Chain A
Amino acid sequence: MKLPMLPTTVIGSYSMPEWLERAKNDYLSRRLSRRDLDEMHDAVRKAAIKDQESAGIDIVTDGELQRDNMIDYFTERLPGVQVDLGSKRFYYDFYDTEVRSKLATGSIGLTEEVKFLKRYTDHPTKVSVSGPHTLVKRIRNSFYPTEAEFALDLGRALNFELKEMARAGVTELQIDEPYYSGFPEDLPWAVKAINAAVDGVNVHVTLHICYGNRYGKPSFEGSYKYLFPTILDAKVHALSLEFARRGEEDIQLFKEYKAPFTLGLGVIDVKTQDVESPALVADRIRRALEVVPAERLVVNPDCGCVHLPREVAFAKLAAMVEGAKIVRGELGK
C-alpha cells in the first residue's frame, strides 16, 4: 500500500479496556493462566488493528495491549536483566529490575509483533520499542560504571532486535524516549545510544520524544529547546513530538536549526477525553506546514492512546484522519 501525502499513524498503544486491566491483575495474582491472558491479548490486538483501519489510519500498530507498560515488556525479555516477578500487584506498576552483569545480545522476541501485524493487516505497519535512555532510567544498574555505558550496551542489544524486525518486514520502527525531557543533561550520551540502536537498520526509524504519558498525565514540563542542536546527530529519519497539548511554538525549532528530519506532528491531545474536530486538526497541520514541507510531515497523536476510553480513542483517530484529508485536499493531493 502506497502512503499518501501527510500519512497518518498512531504512536503505538491503543485504548486499554478496563476488563483487560483486571485480567492482567488476575494473572499477577495467579487467578488467570498465561494461556488465557494471551488469548485475550490476541483478541484485543486484532480489534485494535481493525479499529485503526476503520478510523482510516495509514500506518498501523497492534495497539501494544499485550504490554503491561513501556518498561516491563522489555526488561522481562532483555537477556541479563534480573526481574523480581513478585514485586508488583498492579499490572501497570513497574517490576523491580536490576542489571548485574554485561548484557548479552540476543533476540527479545519482538518479531512476533511484526508477524502478527502482517497476518492481520495489509496496511503498512509499525512497531515501537522503548529506547535505551528510558530503560536505563528504570533498571537499577549494578554493573556498568556509568549510565552512558549502560545505555550504549542497551542500544546494541536493541539493535539486534530492530534488525530482526526489519528483516521480518515491518514498514517502520519507532524508538520511544519520553525520559529525555526529564533529564535533558543526558542528551549527548542518549543520542549515542540511539545511534547504536539504529546502526544498520534498513527501515524508516522514528524517534518519539514526548513529555511522558504515564497514567495519562505528563511526567515532565518544559520546552523542546533542550533537544537542539544535539538531536541533529541522531541517525533517525523522523522525530515525533508532542504539540497538541503543549502548543506549536517549538515547531519553529525545526526551522531555526534546519532539522533534516521528517516531523511526526502531534495533533491529538491524548491526555484529555475532549475529541478534537477535524477542522482543528487541519489547522494544526497547516501551521506546521509553514515550517516543514508536506513531504516531511507525518500526522499522529501526541502519544499513545492507552489511557483513553475506546470510543474516545477511535473518535480522536477518525478526526485526525479527516483533518489530514482536509489539508491533503487543499494541497491537491
Chain B
Amino acid sequence: MIVHINHISQSKSKAGKKSQLGELASLVTGSLVDLVEGGQLDPRIAPSLRIHLDWIQYKTNFRDPVIVRRTTDAKGKALSLAEVAIDLRQCQPTELPQQLERAIKSVSPNATGNDGRVYLDDYKPYRECMIWDFNRLFWRHLGEWEAASGRGFEAALPTGQSDANRPDAVHDSVVEFWQLLKELESKNQLPAEIPILEIGVGAGTRAAAWIDGFKAYDEANGTSYYDRIQFILGDYSPDTLARACASLGRHKEHITPAPLDALNPFKALSTYRFKILYVHLTNVYDNLPFDDLVRRDGRLYLVEVRAYMSAAAADQLEADFGVSRGDIGSVMSRLIEGGPHAVFAGDKGVAFWRAFWDYFRLEERLRALDDREESHVPPGLSWSHLEDLLAESPEDVRFHISRGAAESFANTLPLLHPRGYLQVQDIFVEEMDEYRKGFKGPGKLDGSLVTWVNGALLRAVGARAGYDVHFRPFTYRPGSKTTVMYTTQKP
C-alpha cells in the first residue's frame, strides 16, 4: 500500500506540536493499520491500494470526505489498482475511522451496495459531465442566483473581489500597451486601426477602466492613438454585451460588441486575423471544460465521473421540496433545460436549484487509456502536445488537461498581430511538478465551477503555434493566487 500526501504547504502549527492535518493523517494511517490487523482489507487488493491524502483547493467541491476510485481497462473491465482519497479539509476526526472502514470494504471485489445513492448519470469524462450543464445554467440565470444568495458574483469570490479591475493593474496594462504603440509608430509600422479584444467582459467594468485610462494616458503624452483604437468586447451572452456596451457609452465610437464562443474566438472574429494587438482575459479559462488524467505505474488513466446524490441528501430534498427519489432525474432535466422556474414558481425554484447544487456529488473511476487514444486531446491540438507535456511530467501524478482553455488559447492566437500579445489573469499551474504538491480542484464557486488551469499545457500549445508563454505573479494584491500569463513571439 502506498500513501500519497498530496498537500505541501507551510504548517501554521507551533513547533513541536502536531498540526490538525497531522492529527488527521495519523488517524488515517492508524485506522488503516487497524483494518489490516483486523483482516478487513482484502489481501488481493491491499498490495496495489493507494491512499491519497488531499487538501482540496476549494472548500466546496464535488467529493465526500472519503471516496474510492477503482480502475478499469479501456473497455471497462475492473483492474486491481484502487485508490482511497481523503479530503483532509472536510474530514471530521470523529467520523473518519468509520468512513475509512466503509471505503475499504467497498474496495473489495465482492463489495455490494452503494449506500442508497441516487445516480444522476453514467460514468463520463469530466468534459462531458453534467456539471457543465449546471455551469451554463448559472451564467444564464446569474441574476436570480445573486438575488437569492444576497451577494453579487464578485462578492462570492474567495477574496470578495475580482482581480480584473484593480486600478493599478489596469494602469500598468495601459502603459505597457501604449509603449508598444509608440515603438511601432517609431518604425512606421503602426496600423491605421488598432484592434484590442477582451474576452469575457462581464459588466464591462474592466474595459471601461482600461479605455478611460488609455484615453487619459494618450492625451497626457500628446499622442492620438485613442482615435485609432477599436475595443472589441467579446462574450457569448448578447445580454451581457448589451449591458457592457451601455456602460461604455462615452466610448461608443471605439467599441465593437462581438458575440463569440470563448472556445473559438477566431470563428467570430476571422476578419481580424493577424490584426489584434492586445487580447485580454480574466477568469475565463478556469471556467472552461477540462479533463483529468492520472499517471500510475507508467500507465495513463482518464478520470471518469458519475453524478450522484447521497441517500441523506435525497431524503432532505424530498422533505424540503417534495421531490421523490424516483423523480429527481426528471426534475433535474427540467431545471437544466428550463431554468429554476421550470421546476418551481418564484423563489422556491431558485432555492431548489441552490439545494440541488449543494447536494450534487461525483464518484470517480480511472479508465486506462489505450495507447495514443485521441479522444481526450482537445480539438485543434494533437497527441504530440500531450507528449510534450508528459515528457516534463512526473511519473506518478494526477493533472488537468485544460482542454477548454487550450482550445480557446489555440483559437485566439491566430488573431494576434505579429507584434500583438495575449494576456490572461487566472489561476495557473505553471509546472507539471506542481500537481504533485497539491490537489487543484475542481471546486464549486457559488453556482458555477472553478478549476486551476494547466499552464504547462498552454506553454506546449503556444510553443507549437510560435509563441513563448510566460507567467508572472499578480503583484497588485498581497496574497493573490492570480497569475498573469502572457505571450511573446518565438524567435
B-contacting residues of A (Cβ < 8 Å)?
18, 21-22, 90, 93-94, 211-212, 214-222, 271-272
Contacts and interface: CB of A to CB of B under 8 A. Distances in A.
Contacts of B416: 217
A217 B191 contact: no
Contacts of A221: 189, 191, 274, 417-419
B274 A18 contact: no
A215 B191 contact: no
B interface, size bucket: 20 to 34
B169 to A, nearest CB: 28
Nearest to B462: A215
Contacts of A90: 463
B262 to A, nearest CB: 21
Contacts of B384: 18, 21-22
Contacts of B463: 90
Contacts of B189: 220-222
B93 interface: no
A217 B490 contact: no
A217 B414 contact: yes
Contact of A219 (B273, B387, B489): B489
Contacts of B490: 93, 214-215
B274 A218 contact: yes
Contacts of B464: 215
Given A94-B491, A221-B189, A214 B382 contact: no
A20 to B, nearest CB: 12
A218 B490 CA distance: 12
A217 B491 contact: no
Contacts of B382: 18
Contacts of B191: 221
A90 B491 CA distance: 13
B466 interface: yes
B465 interface: yes
Interface SS, A side = loop
5 contacts: A22-B387, A217-B416, A217-B466, A219-B489, A220-B189
A273 to B, nearest CB: 11
B465 to A, nearest CB: 6
A272 B414 CA distance: 10
A215 B417 contact: no
A94 B466 CA distance: 12
Given A94-B491, A215-B490, A218-B274, 14 more contacts: A18-B382, A214-B490, A215-B464, A215-B465, A215-B466, A217-B418, A218-B418, A219-B489, A220-B418, A221-B189, A221-B191, A221-B274, A221-B419, A271-B273
Interface string B401-436: 000000000000110111100000000000000000
Tell which of A214, A216, A217 has the most Cβ of chain B within 10 Å: A217
Contacts of B489: 219
Contacts of B387: 22
A227 B22 CA distance: 71
A212 B465 contact: no
Contacts of A272: 273
A220 B187 CA distance: 12
Contacts of B466: 214-217
A90 B274 CA distance: 25
A272 B270 CA distance: 11
B476 to A, nearest CB: 32
B391 to A, nearest CB: 9
A87 B40 CA distance: 56
B465 A219 contact: no
B9 to A, nearest CB: 33
Interface-central residue, B274, B414, B418, by most chain A CB under 10 Å? B418
Contacts of A93: 490
Contacts of A219: 418, 489
A214 B274 CA distance: 13
A93 B387 CA distance: 17
B121 to A, nearest CB: 35
A221 to B, nearest CB: 5
Nearest to B184: A221
A65 B418 CA distance: 25
A271 B266 CA distance: 14
B59 to A, nearest CB: 41
Contacts of A222: 188-189
B417 to A, nearest CB: 6
Contacts of B419: 221
A243 B466 CA distance: 22
B390 to A, nearest CB: 13
Nearest to A29: B391
Most B Cβ at <10 Å: residue of A22, A215, A216, A272 = A215
Contacts of B413: 217
A90 B273 CA distance: 26
Contacts of A212: 418
Nearest to A211: B418
A221 B416 CA distance: 11
**Of listed A18, A22, A219, A221, residue having the most chain B CB within 10 A:** A221
Contacts of A22: 384, 387
B383 to A, nearest CB: 9
Give the 4 A-B residue pairs with the shortest CB-CB distance, closest first: A215-B466, A218-B418, A222-B189, A219-B418
Nearest to B383: A18
B137 to A, nearest CB: 35
A39 to B, nearest CB: 21
A255 to B, nearest CB: 23
A217 B464 CA distance: 12
A150 to B, nearest CB: 18
A58 to B, nearest CB: 30
Contacts of B491: 94
A275 to B, nearest CB: 15
Contacts of A271: 273-274
A22 B372 CA distance: 14
A273 B466 CA distance: 17
Nearest to A183: B187
Contacts of A215: 464-466, 490
A100 to B, nearest CB: 21
Contacts of B273: 271-272
B266 to A, nearest CB: 11
Interface in B438-491: 463-466, 489-491
B192 to A, nearest CB: 11
